[in-house]
Amino acid sequence: MNAIRRSALLYALSSLIIALFLYFKELDDVQYIFLILSSTTIIYSKIKLQDKTDLGLMFIFSILIISQWDLFFTGTILFYIFIYLIHKESYQMDELQSIIHNNIWNNTSEILFVKDKELRYKIVNHGWRDLFGLSEDQYNGKTDTDLFQPEIVNSIQTTDRIAIKHGEHSFIHSVIDKDNKQKYMVVLKQAIFDKKGNFMGLFGIARDITELEEIKQYLIKQNSILEKAFEFTQNAIFIKTPDSRYTYVNKAYCDIHNKAYDEIIGKSDFDLFDEETAEMFTKVDKELIKNGKKIIRQVTINFNNKQYTTITTKDLLKDSDGQILGIIGVSQDISEIKSMERQIMEAEKLHSIETLAGGIAHDLNNILTGVQGYSSILLMELEHPEYTEYLNNIINSTKYASRLISKLLIYSRKQKDQIVNLNINSLIHDTYELLKPTIKKNISIHFNLFSTGIISGDPAHIGQVIMNLMLNSAEAIKGDGEIVLETENVVIDDLRRFRFISEMASIGEYVKFRINDTGIGIAEDKLSIIFEPFYSGKERAGAKSGTGLGLSIVLNVVKSHSGLLDIVSELGKGTSICIYFPLEKNISKTNEESFKEIYTGKGTILIVDDEKNILKILTSMLEKLGYTVISTTNGYDAVELYKDNKSTIKGVIIDLLMPEIDGYQTLNELLRINPDVKSILCSGFGRQEGIDNLLERGFKGFIAKPFDIETVSIRIHELFN
């Protein structure tokens, strides 16, 4: 009921009271006027003070004054004093409300607004007007549809309905301010209802959280980048609680454990590892919490049927007050690196063995030189048939031993690359003879060598291929088994079916070499990568030792010889590797020399060798051939001897390896004395890499140890003719 209705009712009630008094009691004019004034004052007070004046009490007080006329003047004064005091309090409350309204409503930093029941804006404060830049005429009586963009209106109206339904609610709104900038607001909306529960309007209070929202978005973006970095890295990253329960792990950690993220979170090390490993990890965690210093440890563990070697760094996570929140760790799997280190160590060990083999071969050749040399001299002197047979047997044995040593030099990489015509069947047999003592007795070897073709290549490299494949096959066989070596001539008309193809390969005739074994076999997905350098031997059948380069060398040799390679394998059944070398059609004559004649001569020969035995045998041979010999064990002495006998010395035989100065340095000194000096290089290493260069830089001939008198006579004859 509004104020007008209340006033009308009060006037009617006052008139009724006055009429009753006039009817029952006669009043004089003064009493009558007082009654009218008091009634009007009551009505005014009732309206002004909004039900705060006790209407009934005032009417009773007025009637008492009229009834007791002698109290008229005193009562009237008290009555108006009472009215004044009530009105004074009311005015003070109105003034206080006005002050509060102006200072709080318009001066607050919050944004305030009131909507009516039609959700039209009725009252807003300065904060609201400043945000949108609207005057009272522009917003008063307007709806959100009249003021804002459609996408914003939909959000505001939706939250209005929620607030009306639930009484109050808080939301985050995105709005556009007067400068066309996006703002984020947190808004509390309160529905207003009357005493009967009828909806009267909506009150709202909002705060600008744009800066906080921008910080939030920035942190979300940075967190996303950090998460991507964590997921991208191959290192396992984890976070634990102080009591060693996992609260975060990255993808790499999940992959190692072969578990989903949710299967790890909340678990401890005892849930994921064996007891011994878990105790080791938790012990490190406790040490870290106790000492507060970062810990870096290298550990090797057996996990998921694999051996892992990791370097793990652990540190504490703390808040701004220094309180421990948890433990963060990063584990780098260095298993492959450790494997490569072992392989490199094996390669270095093999290199040392190669060097040792070369040195031993050199010394053996020196020994065999004496045996073969003296035997060949005796053969010239003796005519007894039985002794001749014995000496020939000794010479043939030394030649056979020399060939074995030559093969050792090939496999110890002491021989220079040579492209010659060769029979792969002979190379297979020679390689087998070298490896035979190392192959387990429970492995049988079968040869089906049907190829009649000749290939062109480096015997050292192709021999290395055969050796590596035979060793791999032997190591792949765990119990009894067999290895079959086969060769045959084939015609290739389609290169696409081969797994590995040399860029220089073409269709045509090839010599096929196949090696089959009954070993443990190789998984299909490993057949291509086993030929990569340093591929882990522990994952490849038959490659558990060596340099880790065996099959890589095989493939490189095949490609460098214009060849083809294919491989077939099945786990538990064995492996078959086929290699194809182009058939050589231009067959050159063999380089083997058959010495039917011994050449004699005259003149002085200077011999330089640090082995006195070699000096003696060479001296004997040359003297038998008719030459005069001057000898020394030192390069410096040789230079001095040459200076003193320059006019008589016809030629020089120089050993390659000597103390103080070697054979090449000795030759350089001799060339300074006589640029036309005729010299022969002598070495127990054979034609290893570098010999041909020396022959091009001054030496006129070469004698390989061991040698016989026939070889020496021919080389001296070639030098002087």
Please tell me the chain's helix, strand, coil percentages from 3-state DSSP, rounded to the nearest 5: 50, 25, 25
CA distance 387 to 404: 26
* Token pair recorded at residue 40: 């009007």
CB 379 within 8 A of CB 392: yes
CB 519 within 8 A of CB 574: yes
Instruction: Identify the pLDDT of residue 247.
Output: 87
CA distance 306 to 310: 13
User: Do you find a cis peptide bond into 706, omega within 30 degrees of 0?
Assistant: yes
Q: Which of 128, 146, 133, 190 is nearest to 164 (CA)?
A: 190
Q: How far is CA 326 from the centre of its chain?
A: 26
| Stretch (H or E) spanning 108 | none
AA letter at 480: D
Task: Name the CA dihedral angle for 561, 488, 554, 557, rounded to a multiple of 10 degrees.
Answer: -10
Residue environment code for 386-403, b if the CB has 16+ CB neighbours within 10 A, otherwise e: eeeeebeebbeebeebbe
* Token pair recorded at residue 131: 């945000």
Instruction: Identify the pLDDT of residue 533.
Output: 61
Residue environment code for 622-649, b if the CB has 16+ CB neighbours within 10 A, otherwise e: bebbebebbbbbbbeebbebbeeeeeeb
pTM of model > 0.75: no
CA distance 534 to 549: 6
CA distance 61 to 67: 10
As averages over each run of 10 residues, the pLDDT of the chain (721 residues) reads 53 57 57 59 53 50 52 54 56 53 66 88 84 81 85 84 83 72 83 86 85 76 68 80 88 82 88 86 88 85 74 86 86 74 64 64 72 75 69 70 62 56 87 82 91 85 86 89 93 88 88 93 81 54 44 83 90 92 71 58 91 86 90 91 91 88 89 91 66 75 83 87 78
- Three-class DSSP labels, 634-668: CHHHHHHHHHHCCCCEEEEEEECCCCCCCHHHHHH
How do 443-449 and 481-492 pair as beta strands?
parallel
Q: What is the set of domains in the chain, with CATH numbers?
A: 3-104 (no CATH), 106-213 (3.30.450.20), 233-333 (3.30.450.20), 416-582 (3.30.565.10), 604-720 (3.40.50.2300)
Write out pLDDT tens, residues 331-368: 888 777 766 666 666 666 656 666 666 666 667 777 77
297 three-state secondary structure: strand
* Token pair recorded at residue 720: 């002087």
CA distance 567 to 531: 11
Residue reference for tokens 């059948």? 541
Residue reference for tokens 């995105």? 174
What Å distances lie between residue 698 and 177, 412, 588, 663, 701, CA to CA?
A: 94, 27, 28, 11, 9
CA distance 463 to 489: 19
* Token pair recorded at residue 525: 């997905």
CB 199 within 8 A of CB 192: yes
Instruction: Identify the pLDDT of residue 487.
Output: 94
CA distance 153 to 148: 6
CA distance 655 to 664: 9
Q: Which of 264, 391, 252, 386 is nearest to 310 (CA)?
A: 252
CA distance 534 to 340: 6
CA distance 480 to 507: 39
The residue length of the chain stands at 721
Q: Which of 669, 649, 670 is nearest to 605 (CA)?
A: 649
